[in-house]
Amino acid sequence: MMSDHKDSQDLLGQQALRVQSVALDLSDQLVRLALAAQTAWLDLWVLPGLRAIEDLQARQAQQARTARLVRRGIPAPLARQGLRVL
């Protein structure tokens, strides 16, 4: 009788450890899912902004090149075509 009680306690202890292990695995997966979702959200919001900044910088650089060419005497329509003066 005492042995049956001890065996059932051992079984319950093993089950509790298995449940705890599964719960830890599940929480680990939930953290990974949350990080992946946060990264995806951040990409959706930040990357377009970064691309817009790059586009703005490229436009400003083109305008600066055009202005330099015009100052050197190149007609504005030709300077806007992106000619390079050596």
The answer to whether 72 and 86 have CB atoms below 8 angstroms apart is no
Evaluate whether residue 31 is within a structural domain: yes
Give the pLDDT mean for 55-69: 92
Evaluate whether residue 86 is within a structural domain: no
Query: What total of structural domains would you count in the chain?
Result: 1
Evaluate whether residue 49 is within a structural domain: yes
What is the DSSP track for 6-18? HHHHHHHHHHHHH
**Which two three-digit tokens encode residue 33?**
């899912």
Report the candidate in 66, 86, 85, 84 with the shortest Cα–Cα distance to residue 76.
Answer: 66
Evaluate whether residue 21 is within a structural domain: yes
Pairwise CA distance, residues 8 & 23, whole Å: 22
pLDDT tops 70 at residue 83: no
pLDDT of 47: 87
Confidence band of 17 (pLDDT split at 50, 70, 90): very high
Pairwise CA distance, residues 68 & 60, whole Å: 12
Evaluate whether residue 85 is within a structural domain: no
63: containing domain:
2-80
Evaluate whether residue 11 is within a structural domain: yes
Confidence band of 33 (pLDDT split at 50, 70, 90): very high
pTM: 0.52
